[in-house]
């Protein structure tokens, strides 16, 4: 869960910066641009709750993580001129779908087989891992982004706004690309972390589908 939270939440932060600094979205438009994320979570969470009855949580979770990984890799191809509908919206929705598909089975797995008196501790551990993953994801991916941009062009963000004020399109292009290079490198790193999470889930989670447990209890 720590690794699963690492990638999508770091992506959330980086794309917000991309929308505001590069695409020049105001805060309200940026917020509205993230509505597909909420829709993806709602749809995928409901779907996952049905899938875990028929399929092993590992299968559902790995599928979800791989969807998010592919979506983040898609988002890592952004350019200073990427369109919202054609590029960002598709990626944002897919990241959310994958996150929802992985979150539900991992939550169920965390409390499966746990004694009733220990269920609170198990849930707390899961939530703590998620929150730590969010914090680490934002910190690590933003550091990667800033470091990459600084290596390309020091003080690129300030230079971008200066270039816009001076109406210098060539400088705007150069500085924008340096900043976007930082975002794309960080997004690629987040995808690698998610791929690692998929491997961990595939190897270590062995919980059966819920329907199997129900059949055993009836017998």
pLDDT digits (tens, 9 = 90+) for 96-126: 999 999 988 888 888 777 888 888 888 888 8
How far apart, in whole angstroms, are the C-alpha atoms of residue 187 and residue 8? 9
CB 16 within 8 A of CB 118: no
203 CB burial (10 A radius; 0-12, 13-18, 19+): exposed
For helices 169-204 and 2-17, angle between their N-to-C axes, nearest 10 degrees: 170
pLDDT at 216 over 50: no
pLDDT at 83 over 50: yes
CB 149 within 8 A of CB 178: yes
pLDDT at 217 over 60: no
CB 138 within 8 A of CB 9: yes
Q: What is the CATH number of the domain that holds 11?
A: 1.20.1250.20
pLDDT at 23 over 80: yes
How far apart, in whole angstroms, are the C-alpha atoms of residue 199 and residue 210? 22
In this structure, what token pair is assigned to residue 103?
A: 């979150």
**pLDDT at site 7:** 83
How far apart, in whole angstroms, are the C-alpha atoms of residue 26 and residue 41? 24
**pLDDT at site 115:** 84
pLDDT at 209 over 90: no
User: What percent of the chain shows pLDDT beyond 90?
Assistant: 70
| Residue 173 structural domain | 2-218
**Count of domains observed in the chain:** 1
């Amino acid at each position: 869960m720590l690794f699963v939270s690492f990638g999508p939440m770091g992506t959330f932060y980086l794309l917000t910066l991309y929308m505001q600094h590069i695409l020049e979205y105001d805060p309200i438009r940026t917020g509205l641009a993230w509505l597909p994320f909420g829709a993806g979570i709602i749809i995928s969470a409901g779907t996952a709750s049905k899938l875990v009855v028929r399929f092993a949580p590992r299968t559902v979770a790995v599928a979800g993580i791989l969807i998010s990984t592919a979506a983040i890799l898609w988002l890592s191809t952004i350019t200073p001129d990427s369109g919202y509908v054609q590029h960002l919206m598709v990626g944002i929705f897919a990241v959310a779908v994958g996150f929802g598909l992985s979150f539900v089975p991992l939550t169920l797995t965390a409390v499966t087989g746990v004694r009733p008196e220990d269920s609170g501790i198990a849930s707390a551990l899961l939530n703590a891992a998620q929150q730590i993953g969010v914090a680490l994801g934002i910190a690590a991916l933003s550091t990667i982004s800033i470091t990459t941009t600084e290596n390309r062009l020091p003080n690129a963000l300030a230079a971008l706004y200066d270039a816009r004020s001076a109406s210098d399109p060539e400088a705007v292009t150069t500085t924008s690309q340096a900043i976007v290079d930082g975002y794309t490198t960080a997004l690629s790193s987040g995808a690698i972390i998610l791929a690692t999470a998929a491997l961990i889930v595939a190897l270590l989670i062995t919980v059966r589908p819920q329907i199997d447990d129900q059949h055993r209890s009836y017998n």
